[in-house]
Amino acid sequence: MRLTSGQINSQEAGKLNFTKVEGGGYRIGIPVPFPMQYVYCYLLPKEDAFVLIDTGYNYRKAREAWEEVFRELSLSPGRIEAIFVTHFHPDHSGLADWMQNKTGAPVYMHTLDLQMMEQVWGEGSIQSQRIRVMAERHGVPETLSKEIALHMDKMAETMRPLPSIQKLDHEPVFMGRQWKVLLTPGHSDGMFCLYEESTGTIFLSDLILDPITPNISVWPGTSQRPLHEYFESLEKIRELPINIAYTAHGNPIYHVKERIDELIKHHEKRLSAMETLADHSTVYQIASAIFSHRKLNPHQWRFAIAETIAHMHYLEEEGRVKHITDKHGAITYQQNHQPAT
């Protein structure tokens, strides 16, 4: 069977989860070992070949899902001629090396996240220890910070070896059109979206999701003001005429502006809640209160801490809180009360 776009309109065969993309190609749900269940990767036609956006997390279920996709579509992996990895998170980049070996295709990333691949997942990376130090300075108990680092080290093992990655310095052509590369930092410094104006189509990766909310976090060696940058990225997207937005988790979005409003509201609510909680408090205390309704595992704690730091940095830049560092380097936050007049 020769694969042409449009043969499969919507299909869930066994473990397979894929739907047709308007204009040709497929939205393929690859399982991830996280609550969001799938990362959606996009296999899109380019003349007689294909390009791929994102690859999946490196574990058995995801590799098996790809093998089944190739079988089901009678697609020889060699027909994939380029792999675009939208950012360095392991659910997007984890299978890039595996996919590169299977297809022989070049892997493209934005230069900032290309550097993060090496810094966070490369051989000899000390990122987990840096995160541990960051967590402890923000009040995380040592037993938990050790578990966080251990969990991170295990994840890093799934990422190696890294693929050979090229800097994305061109506007890709697929689906018969040329796509703009939009740098949209916030969720990660070097995350990009691919946009095509005449059809109003955008591939958003993790920038805007529905119904879940993208994680905005501070990590060692990355931007220390990601929430400001995230809001700027959302405003950049708001200005574009968009008919359909394909996301990496959850549902495609048809009403992008409304979803942007909801996401901004979510963060504003969280900022207010965190500001109220800042009373000579550590990030760990604030995060414990915010996430008290959930039992978090070390992986989720890592994100809860890093996300809380991101919000506290935002509040501080806006003059709403200030931080105090004691002589041991421990950091607490308090509200910036208006001086009495």
Contact residues: Zn ion, CB under 5 A: 89, 91, 206, 248
* 45 or 163: CB nearest Zn ion: 163
* 85 or 256: CB nearest Zn ion: 85
Least separation in angstroms between CB 328 and Zn ion:
33
Least separation in angstroms between CB 210 and Zn ion:
13
> What's the length of the chain?
341
d(CA 17, CA 190): 28
Least separation in angstroms between CB 163 and Zn ion:
18
Least separation in angstroms between CB 181 and Zn ion:
17
* 103 or 217: CB nearest Zn ion: 217
Termini Cα distance of the chain: 78
> Does residue 161 have a cis peptide bond before it, meaning omega lies within 30 degrees of 0?
yes
Which ranges of the chain would DSSP assign to H, the alpha helix? 60-72, 90-93, 96-103, 111-116, 127-137, 142-159, 226-238, 256-277, 283-290, 298-317
Least separation in angstroms between CB 326 and Zn ion:
34
* 165 or 277: CB nearest Zn ion: 165
* Residues 106 and 166 sit within 8 Å (Cβ to Cβ): yes
* Residues 46 and 175 sit within 8 Å (Cβ to Cβ): yes
Q: Which residue is nearest to Zn ion (CB)?
A: 89
* 91 or 307: CB nearest Zn ion: 91
139 phi-psi bin (left φ>0, alpha ψ -120 to 50, beta other) = left
DSSP secondary structure letters along 212-280 = S-------TTS-S-HHHHHHHHHHHHHTS--SEEEESSB--BS-HHHHHHHHHHHHHHHHHHHHHH-EE
d(CA 166, CA 83): 10
Least separation in angstroms between CB 207 and Zn ion:
9
* 91 or 147: CB nearest Zn ion: 91
> Which amino acid makes up residue 199?
T
Query: Helices 142-159 & 127-137, crossing angle to 10 degrees?
Result: 160
Least separation in angstroms between CB 188 and Zn ion:
6
* 200 or 250: CB nearest Zn ion: 250
d(CA 282, CA 252): 38
* 227 or 277: CB nearest Zn ion: 227
The closest of 257, 155, 239, 163 to 197, measured between CA atoms, is: 239
